[in-house]
Amino acid sequence: MQPVEIKKDIFWIGYVDYDHRDFHGYSRSPDGSTYNAYLIKDEKNVLMDTVASGCEGTLLCRMAKVLDPEKIDYIVCNHMELDHAGALETIVERCKPEKIFVSQAGLKSMAGYFACKDWPVQAVKSGDTVSIGKRTIVFQETRMLHWPDSMVSYIPEERLLVSNDIFGQNIASSARFVDDFGDDSEYLRRVKEYYYNIVLPYSPMVLKTLPIVEQLDIDMIAPDHGLIHRGEKAVRNIIDMYRTMAEQKPQQRALIFYDTMWQSTESMAYAACSGLEENGVPTRIMSVKSNHHSAVMTELADCGAVLAGSPTHNNTILPLVAAQLTYMKGLRPLNRVGGAFGSFGWSGEAPKQLQEHLAGMNMEMPAEPVKCNWRPDRDVLKACHELGKTIAETLKKKCQEG
């Protein structure tokens, strides 16, 4: 339980949760995550964020390797969600800080979670500063990234941004820094997974916040989940990646997700895939029985087209497809081309309903849904192939337009 010194007299003292599998409704298997907390030793000793409930013993043990917990003067709560603040009550009782800093909106969430009426709480707003000795903390509210109470803390003397939920990933590892992780593709996938399952709906706020971050002199970004971005190149890379994901410019790749009862809709999915691929659009097919809804959303990060397939079941869409659509709609993807298909026996409502769901997400729908009574014959499979071709042509045009 050793702390990790990330800069001179600044320590990571968080918790690595290898077993946690559900995070904000999405699955992170096979990894867990980290709840990152940071300790700054100065004339005023500062704890930046805490950890989830049940993890406070590890945090206090790591803290004690640096200084006595009762010597903590200030606690900064950049965000009151319980993966960051679940241990706060125990930590306040043990450390007895002089002040606890939260955002203006954080007062409400703190009062909602804790009996904190007698705590020494001070609300701060963007631009407020506090001197802790050799260093200064500058607060910047980042409302709706991803809660109204979210903020970040900047220490200019150290060129360090403690960034709360933004720029994070869910990775459980003994590595603390991106450059120590050793698997670039997995790191990039985890960044996309985190963004597309949590941050995506707030992309307009990301685009407003990035210019503020870029005005700061930073050579390290320390998020509250996952690996720390160390060095100017790493900082530039994650900022650029966030901008790309937030802009959601169409990419020439497609995603097909579906469910099937007797493989008719599955056959249609593969026929549509052939129409896409033969017309220059690489495609990933994902069964919602075999893939968690968060994995489907992560795949969407690189796809400018989305096709949904379901047989008709009780006059509607199969439940797992309906759940995927509901989850996707809440995350508000933009600038996509959509398509729908499905089979039926006695009634055939599902394809039209799928079409309406995708259109309701403001997707461009260049073709009518394809539906099949019973098993798909040659004509139906040809129609699915044509659906893929039409979507491919529409997507390529959309990509060329930018």
- Given 17, 83, 259, 364, the catalytic residue: 83
How far apart, in whole angstroms, are the C-alpha atoms of residue 146 and residue 166? 8
226: left (phi over 0), alpha (psi -120 to 50) or beta: left
What distance in Å separates the CA atoms of residue 385 and residue 379, rounded to the nearest whole number?
Answer: 10
In the annotation, is 20 catalytic? no
Query: Of these residues, 35, 38, 146, 196, which one is catalytic?
Result: 146
> How many C-beta atoms lie closer than 10 Å to residue 381's C-beta?
19
Q: Largest Cα–Cα distance in the chain?
A: 77
* 165 is annotated as an active-site residue: yes
Per the residue annotation, which of 81, 141, 259, 266 is the catalytic one?
A: 81
For residue 79, indicate whether it is catalytic. yes
Active site (annotated) includes residue 377: no
- Count CA atoms within 13 Å of residue 364 on its CB side: 17
**Active-site residue, selected from the candidate residues 84, 225, 292, 313:** 225
CA 255 to chain centre: 19
Secondary structure letter of residue 128 according to DSSP: -
Give the CA dihedral 326, 328, 334, 339, nearest 10 degrees: -80
Q: If you write DSSP's letter for every residue of 301-370 in order, what string do you get? A: TT-SEEEEE--EETTEE-HHHHHHHHHHHHH---S-EEEEEEEESS---HHHHHHHHHHTTT-B--SPPE
The residues pairing with 152 across neighbouring beta strands, listed in sequence order, are: 140
- Of the candidates 31, 165, 193, 224, the residue annotated as catalytic is 165
- Known active-site residue 24: yes
**Active-site residue, selected from the candidate residues 15, 74, 154, 194:** 194
**Active-site choice (24, 219, 277, 386):** 24
Can 146 be counted among the known catalytic residues? yes
* Residue from 74, 79, 149, 293 carrying the catalytic annotation: 79
Q: Which residues are catalytic?
A: 24, 79, 81, 83, 146, 165, 194, 225
